[in-house]
Amino acid sequence: MITVMGAGAFGTALAVSLSRNGPVRLWAHDARHVEAMQRTGQNERRLPGVPLPTNITFCAGLETFSSEDTVLLAVPMQRLRGVLEGHRGVLSQARLVACCKGMELSTGKGPVQIVQEICHAATPAILTGPSFAADIAKGLPTALTLACADVRAGEALQQALTTPNLRIYRTSDTIGAELGGALKNVMAIGAGVVMGAALGDSARAALMTRGFAEMTRMAVALGAEPETLAGLSGFGDLVLTCTSEQSRNYRFGLSLGRNEAFDPSVTVEGAATARAVHEKAQALGLEMPITTAITGLISGELQVDQAMDMLLSRPLKEE
């Protein structure tokens, strides 16, 4: 049995896609949300207009959970620790697949690291790559990376999570996969700023390219394989989120570039991640000027013209 914890747009879309393979359980922390989905056959709160197949069951508790279940953790990155701690007893030995992207602000840790810290006996993995909830829910095709250090468990998860519209590639490099998903959110904010400030497509392409260099620099410094960053979890997701308004991080950047208010109810994982990445880069002595500029824009310490001047006036060097 596959359980998806998190009835946001992405968790719901994953449940819809996975239900094509068999029964799926969709967990939401709010019992009223569960009742509404049961009554309407839709997740009107988070993914309106998408019918939920009848072989998806809904729950606000895990009373019927088995330790043999595969659990997809589709909760916001900054809430992952609390969800795991609140359900540590039933999740302690499960196969736990993180589906959130980012870096915990308070610790600088990624989702796999947090799973390992809280659920010691669990098998941790991460599912990441270019994927918008609306596309997945419609059955549109994409390819994702499944990273699991346990090769046999990774092979089993690859089989279980592949669906007619989701092609899953496998790696054992969990560090690279989780950092690719986290760092691209920061760069997506920067790309949105560029376009919101009408700096042009050429500037966006330059930011994406140099941003990818920063992503790879930090990931390799933390033990990742550079090939992982060049794959779906890094470069693939970077391209998607830097070029589409379906990305909340990109839309947030657009609002910064236009000097407009942004809906505070919308989760923007890259905002907290930018601060965490900036702090980690400083601790490691890594030069990450784009991340520094984006962090300054988010905090309000920099204006767009100041950030642009800061980046363009850096010393010239070889690529």
Per-residue model confidence (pLDDT) at position 12:
98
- Looking at the fold, whether 127 and 12 belong to one and the same domain comes out as yes
- Across the range 218-238, mean pLDDT stands at 98
Per-residue model confidence (pLDDT) at position 102:
95
- Looking at the fold, whether 122 and 260 belong to one and the same domain comes out as no
Q: Is 252 marked within a binding site?
A: no
**Could you tell me the CATH number of the domain that includes residue 226?**
1.10.1040.10
Cβ-based neighbour number of residue 122 at 10 Å: 19
In a domain, 177, yes or no: no
- Looking at the fold, whether 186 and 120 belong to one and the same domain comes out as no
Task: Please tell me the total count of domains within the chain.
Answer: 2
- Looking at the fold, whether 168 and 196 belong to one and the same domain comes out as no
- Looking at the fold, whether 245 and 195 belong to one and the same domain comes out as yes
User: How far apart, in whole angstroms, are the C-alpha atoms of residue 127 and residue 143?
Assistant: 10
- Looking at the fold, whether 16 and 158 belong to one and the same domain comes out as yes
| Cβ pair 29, 39 in contact under 8 A | no
- Looking at the fold, whether 146 and 6 belong to one and the same domain comes out as yes
- Across the range 74-97, mean pLDDT stands at 95
For residue 69, is pLDDT > 90? Answer: no
Higher pLDDT, 131 or 68: 131
- Total residues belonging to the chain: 319
| Cβ pair 249, 266 in contact under 8 A | no
- Looking at the fold, whether 14 and 162 belong to one and the same domain comes out as yes
- Looking at the fold, whether 293 and 246 belong to one and the same domain comes out as yes
Listed in sequence order, the residues at least 6 apart from 40 whose beta carbon sits closer than 8 Å to its beta carbon are: none
Q: Beta strands 42-43 and 47-51: pairing type?
A: antiparallel
In a domain, 13, yes or no: yes
In a domain, 294, yes or no: yes
Angle between helices 269-284 and 248-258 (to 10 degrees): 80
Q: How confident is the model at residue 297 (pLDDT cuts 50, 70, 90)?
A: very high
- Looking at the fold, whether 161 and 73 belong to one and the same domain comes out as yes
- DSSP SS3 for 21: coil
- Looking at the fold, whether 87 and 20 belong to one and the same domain comes out as yes
- Summarize pLDDT for 16-36 with one digit per residue, the tens: 999 999 999 999 999 999 999
In a domain, 319, yes or no: no
Enzyme catalytic residues? 184
Q: Which residue, chain included where needed, has tokens 């089993």?
A: 156
Produce one character per residue of 183-217: b if its CB has 16 or more CB atoms within 10 Å, e if not.
bbbbbbbbbbbbbbbebeeebbeebbebbbebbbb
- Looking at the fold, whether 289 and 210 belong to one and the same domain comes out as yes
Q: How confident is the model at residue 63 (pLDDT cuts 50, 70, 90)?
A: confident
| Ramachandran region, residue 268 (left: φ > 0; alpha: ψ -120 to 50; beta: rest) | beta
Per-residue model confidence (pLDDT) at position 101:
95
Per-residue model confidence (pLDDT) at position 64:
77
Domain residues for the domain of 95 are 2-172
Q: Is 55 marked within a binding site?
A: no
Last residue of a domain, one of 146, 172, 198: 172
Q: Is 6 marked within a binding site?
A: yes
Q: Is 236 marked within a binding site?
A: no
Per-residue model confidence (pLDDT) at position 62:
84
For the chain, counts of helices (H) and of strands (E) = 15, 10
**Could you tell me the CATH number of the domain that includes residue 67?**
3.40.50.720
